[in-house]
Amino acid sequence: MTIEERLENLEHRRTREDVWVSVVLVAILLAIAARDVIREVFLKPKLATSVAEEVRAHRFILVDAYGRYLAALDVEGRGPMLSFYGANGDTYAALRVNRNGPMLSLYHANGMPGADLTVNKDGPALSFFDENVKLIWSAP
């Protein structure tokens, strides 16, 4: 075998070795990347959304798919109030807290108060009203 043939043989073998080295390096890099993807996607705990430590507002409104008010949590002049609304937009129930204590109000279909349950420094009280807000019964 001549020196030229031996040199050509050596170059050909070196080229094959370079290809294999390149293939092995690419395979190692792909394995590392796959490992990282698997860690991120399958092994890391997921948070649905980021959660704020605190949310501040003067009013929160809950609406249906048509934009109608269903409930509201707001601060009226005397304290916080949670209100629930009917399909017609009238208030059906309200829970409020003021300096005298808590009060739960239930309303007639015409939007007028029908019953109030309050608790204050003198104790609990329950009152019922007709559609014209005329007192029907109360205790104590």
Q: Is residue 29 part of a domain?
A: yes
Q: Is residue 127 part of a domain?
A: yes
Q: How many domains does the chain have?
A: 2
pTM recorded for the entire structure: 0.59
- The answer to whether residues 80 and 131 belong to one domain is yes
- Residue in the block written with tokens 């349950």: 117
- The answer to whether residues 40 and 2 belong to one domain is yes
Question: Which residue range(s) make up the domain with 88?
Answer: 59-139
Q: What is the largest CA-CA distance in the chain?
A: 122
Distance CA 33, CA 126 (A): 69
- The answer to whether residues 3 and 40 belong to one domain is yes
Q: Is residue 51 part of a domain?
A: no
pLDDT in tens, the chain (140 residues): 787 777 677 666 666 666 666 666 767 777 777 777 777 766 766 665 676 778 888 899 999 888 888 999 998 777 899 999 988 888 999 999 988 899 999 999 888 999 999 998 989 999 999 999 999 999 98
**Residue 110's closest CA among 137, 82, 140, 89?**
89
- The answer to whether residues 42 and 83 belong to one domain is no
- The answer to whether residues 76 and 114 belong to one domain is yes
- Given a contact cutoff of 8 angstroms between Cβ atoms, the answer to whether 85 and 69 are in contact is yes
Q: Is residue 53 part of a domain?
A: no
